[in-house]
Amino acid sequence: MKYISLFFTCLFICSCGNAKEASAMTTQTELAGNYNITSVYGNQLDSKDLLIRFSLEKKMISGFSGCNQFSGSYENKGAALNFSPLASTRKMCRPEANKTEQDILKALNETIRFTENNQVITFYDLDNKVVMTLAKPEPSNSQVADKQKDYKVEYTAISRGSYMLINYENNSISFQKERNSKPQVKALSKSQIASLNAKIGALNLNELESLEPPSKAHQYDGAAIAGLKISTGSSNYQTPSFDAGNPPKTIEALVSELIGYIEKP
């Protein structure tokens, strides 16, 4: 009886493990929108013109393979992925472009499944070999600025003898270095806006309120007390108070950049 019980216990554990594996394999990223083709058969591709576009609603694919435009349909269930025979234009190009195109179309034809890891899509063939990798295109500075311009950021650093208030809103910075002074406004370039928005976008805003200050001198020796608040839409996210000049590592780059803009002439 002891061995029978042990057998069924092992069987149960293995069944649970298989169920989890099956569940994990069916949890896949939806293929939608534009992707850059970053490698084919292990060869890295640097051109940003090599694109694949997935239409999730129509299950259609189109793109540019180095010389010609191509299009077709695809089927995708869980991790399984198959492309129909692809149609393409018939322009002739340089030999290296033709070779890249042939490899891309061949790799798509051989693809039977895909995985996603850290926003990199990988296609595999029947022998489980990697035939192609894709990545989401990086947005331009103007796209980042336009997409994330609804952020509002407020940084304060206050002590008995000092005062600093910085607001980032509507793609510009306003600041006060004295309590009763009139706010000064500083316009930002698109690259500066994109840099700030990228740092804000990289934060998990829900975790701001639980950040641990690396030091707490403001609690006992009169050091300047600082705080950061970020608003987007109707939601507000705020850090606990921390020592000015020593923010939590998570927001250090953002705080440093905000202060840097108002200290530059």
What is the spatial distance between Cα 260 and Cα 265, in angstroms, rounded to a whole number?
10
Q: Could you give the maximum distance between any two Cα atoms of the chain, in Å?
A: 85
> What are φ and ψ of residue 46, in 5° steps?
-95, -15
Helices H, strands E: what count in the chain?
5, 17
Percent of the chain that is helix, strand, coil (3-state, to 5):
30, 35, 35
Classified as helix, coil or strand, 250 is helix
Q: What is the mean pLDDT of residues 169-176?
A: 92
Q: Is pTM beyond 0.75 here?
A: no
Q: H helices within the chain, ranges in order? A: 2-26, 95-110, 141-147, 190-201, 249-263
Domains belonging to the chain, first-starting first, are: 29-135 (2.40.128.270), 141-263 (3.30.1560.10)
Which carries the bigger pLDDT value, residue 17 or residue 24?
17
Please state the separation of Cα 105 from the chain's center in Å.
28
Residue 233 has what pLDDT?
A: 82
Of the candidates 264, 217, 205, 220, the residue with the CA atom closest to the CA atom of residue 244: 217
Residue 171 has what pLDDT?
A: 85
Q: Which residues pair with 88 in a beta bridge?
A: 70
> To the nearest whole number, what is the mean pLDDT of the chain?
85
Classified as helix, coil or strand, 76 is strand
Size (the chain), residues: 265
Residue 26 has what pLDDT?
A: 38
* Residue 16 pLDDT greater than 60, yes or no: no
Encoded amino acid at 240, one letter? P
Of the candidates 145, 147, 148, 139, the residue with the CA atom closest to the CA atom of residue 231: 148
Place of tokens 């299950």: 59
Please state the separation of Cα 197 from the chain's center in Å.
12
Token pair belonging to 235:
């939601």
216-248 pLDDT, tens digit per residue, is 887 877 789 999 999 988 889 999 999 999 999
Residues 6+ apart with CB under 8 A from 192: 261
With beta carbons less than 8 A apart as the criterion, state whether 165 and 153 touch: no
CA distances from 32 to 24, 59, 62 (A): 20, 9, 11
Token pair belonging to 224:
């300047």
pLDDT band at 39 (very low <50, low <70, confident <90, very high): very high
Q: What is the mean pLDDT of residues 206-222?
A: 86
79-130 pLDDT, tens digit per residue, is 999 999 999 998 889 999 999 999 999 999 999 999 998 889 999 999 999 9
Classified as helix, coil or strand, 5 is helix
Percent of the chain with pLDDT strictly greater than 90: 58
55-82 pLDDT, tens digit per residue, is 887 899 999 999 999 999 999 999 999 9
Q: What is the mean pLDDT of residues 186-208?
A: 89
Token pair belonging to 190:
């698109």
Residue 57 has what pLDDT?
A: 78
